[in-house]
């Protein structure tokens, strides 16, 4: 009954549009207050311990990295380089959209940052050149989901600290599924533009291509520092995040892309975003402690084992559950709520922790495009000025490639585990 009451209280507060952090905190504090064997000192201890971990230091650093990349013009440089090499292909700006998102993903870490940056740059350019508005917004929204799968993925860091998995292994596990998603989206672009010869741009000369590539190379340096440091064993993910920020800040200062006002705006946005994320993490730590105390993981395991003994069917049921959860909760908050319950159940089925982690993250980020909450839907509507209905209409066809990639990741665990194994993380 306690678990049911906690769940209903959480859902009610979320329905009333109470911020997620407080929606998690209030039922937990009521539980601690009413339980004579608990105390407020335990509540304080649990909330503080939730954010008092070294890997979580990477979260504000990677948020700062993404804001720096966006504000310093790195996004525009990556876009210009992709355009220079792909402009002459039919439907070129669709491919440029996907490739640019993939390049920017190595610096952003969140789908929301990618959607805001790419929506500002690419949607007006594509519409101006004759691409249908719904298709343009749809491919921009879908390609923004690449960011949470590859380093420096914020959801991966939060999942790793919640489930006790290596952050470096989590980073590597998402790379192959991300490349698979890029491929699926490019196939979708080909399908939509295969008969539209007017959707071409003039072929750029090699001089233009070389200049665009040299201009974009400094942006690639951040990815090399982060991934190279982690895979080479030189730095932890937290240290790599700080090195990436220092590098990008130095490049932006040398190129004179940052003014005092821009630096102030970057820092304020970083503090605001980091504060909201860390409040959710602290509240979720207390909420998770309550669930563990009431043996929620054991109850969930017993229920699932009664329904099926098949690991694949269990993953399908999890996907259906997370599709609903992802439609109303932002991925980081959803991870903090469901992973402490579902990860032990997945372990009882013998599912590899990294495989399960990628399934969970991919499922939840698809929820960012799912009404009624769908944060990316509203971000793109705000950035482009298009009605939310137009954004939804454009996104709907792209659920086909996204769902196909999710199904492949569920059915083929090696997509998530072979690269971590090859690099010695397993």
The string of pLDDT tens digits covering residues 76-105 is: 788 788 888 887 888 888 888 898 888 878
Look at residue 189 in the predicted model and tell me its pLDDT. 92
The number of folded domains in the chain is: 1
> Model confidence at 297, in pLDDT bands (50, 70, 90)?
low
- Whole-number Cα distances in Å, 154 to 4, 108, 170, 248, 315: 30, 9, 11, 18, 23
Q: Which domain holds residue 293?
A: 21-27+39-422
Within a domain: residue 11?
Answer: no
Within a domain: residue 287?
Answer: yes
CB-based contacts of 324, cutoff 8 Å, min separation 6? none
Look at residue 276 in the predicted model and tell me its pLDDT. 79
pLDDT at 12 > cutoff 80: yes
pLDDT at 193 > cutoff 80: yes
pLDDT at 250 > cutoff 90: no
CA–CA dist 171, 175 (Å, integer): 7
Within a domain: residue 32?
Answer: no
- Whole-number Cα distances in Å, 305 to 86, 296, 406: 50, 14, 23
Look at residue 426 in the predicted model and tell me its pLDDT. 64
Tell me the per-residue pLDDT of 217-232, one tens digit each, with 9 for 90 and over: 887 787 788 878 877 7
- Does residue 397 contact residue 138 with C-beta atoms inside 8 Å? yes
Within a domain: residue 6?
Answer: no
Within a domain: residue 57?
Answer: yes
Joined tokens for residue 9: 């209280």
Look at residue 143 in the predicted model and tell me its pLDDT. 92
Within a domain: residue 142?
Answer: yes
CA–CA dist 297, 283 (Å, integer): 19
> Model confidence at 302, in pLDDT bands (50, 70, 90)?
confident
Within a domain: residue 15?
Answer: no
Q: Count CA atoms closer than 13 A to 264's CA, side-chain side.
A: 3
Residue identified by tokens 């009431």 is 294
CB-based contacts of 53, cutoff 8 Å, min separation 6? 161
SS3 annotation, 387-417: CHHHHHHHHHHHHHHHHHHHHHHHHCCHHHH
Tell me the per-residue pLDDT of 377-425, one tens digit each, with 9 for 90 and over: 888 888 788 888 888 899 999 999 999 999 999 999 999 999 988 887 7
Look at residue 180 in the predicted model and tell me its pLDDT. 95
The mean pLDDT value of the chain amounts to: 84
Q: Judging by beta carbons within 10 Å of its beta carbon (0-12, 13-18, 19+), is residue 15 exposed, middle or buried?
A: exposed
Within a domain: residue 263?
Answer: yes
Nearest to 114 by CA among 85, 152, 159: 152
As a whole-number percent, the residues of the chain with pLDDT over 70 amount to 98
């Amino acid at each position: 009954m306690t678990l049911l009451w906690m769940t209903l209280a959480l859902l009610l507060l979320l329905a009333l549009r109470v911020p997620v952090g407080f929606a998690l905190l209030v039922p937990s504090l009521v539980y601690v207050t009413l339980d004579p064997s608990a105390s407020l000192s335990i509540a304080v201890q649990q909330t503080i311990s939730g954010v008092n971990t070294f890997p979580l230091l990477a979260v504000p650093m990677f948020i700062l990295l993404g804001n720096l990349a966006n504000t310093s013009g790195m996004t525009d440089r990556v876009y210009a380089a992709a355009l220079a090499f792909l402009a002459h292909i039919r439907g070129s700006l669709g491919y440029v959209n996907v490739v640019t998102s993939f390049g920017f993903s190595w610096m952003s870490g969140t789908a929301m940052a990618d959607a805001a940056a790419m929506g500002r740059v690419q949607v007006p350019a594509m519409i101006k050149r004759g691409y249908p508005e719904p298709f343009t917004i749809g491919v921009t929204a879908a390609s923004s989901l690449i960011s949470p799968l590859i380093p420096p993925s914020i959801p991966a860091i939060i999942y790793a600290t919640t489930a006790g998995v290596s952050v470096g292994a989590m980073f590597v596990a998402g790379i192959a599924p991300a490349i698979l998603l890029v491929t699926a989206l490019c196939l979708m672009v080909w399908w939509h533009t295969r008969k539209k010869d007017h959707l071409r741009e003039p072929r750029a000369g090699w001089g233009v291509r070389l200049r665009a590539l040299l201009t974009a190379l400094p942006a690639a340096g951040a990815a090399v520092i982060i991934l190279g440091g982690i895979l080479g064993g030189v730095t932890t993910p937290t240290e790599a995040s700080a090195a990436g920020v220092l590098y990008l800040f130095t490049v932006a200062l040398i190129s004179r892309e940052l003014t005092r006002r821009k630096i102030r705006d970057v820092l304020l946005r970083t503090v605001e975003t980091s504060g909201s994320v860390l409040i959710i993490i602290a509240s979720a730590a207390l909420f998770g402690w309550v669930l563990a105390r009431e043996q929620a993981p054991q109850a969930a395991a017993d229920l699932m084992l009664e329904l099926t003994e098949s690991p694949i069917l269990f993953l399908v049921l999890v996907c259906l559950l997370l599709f609903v959860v992802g439609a109303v909760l932002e991925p980081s908050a959803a991870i903090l709520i469901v992973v402490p319950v579902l990860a032990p159940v997945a372990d009882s089925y013998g599912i590899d922790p990294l495989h399960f982690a990628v399934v969970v993250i991919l499922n939840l980020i698809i929820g960012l495009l799912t009404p009624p909450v769908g944060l990316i839907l509203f971000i793109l509507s705000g950035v482009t000025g298009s009605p939310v209905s137009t954004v939804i209409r454009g996104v709907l066809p792209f659920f086909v490639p996204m769902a196909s990639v999710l199904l492949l990741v569920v059915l083929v665990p090696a997509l998530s585990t072979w690269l971590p194994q090859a690099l010695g993380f397993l």
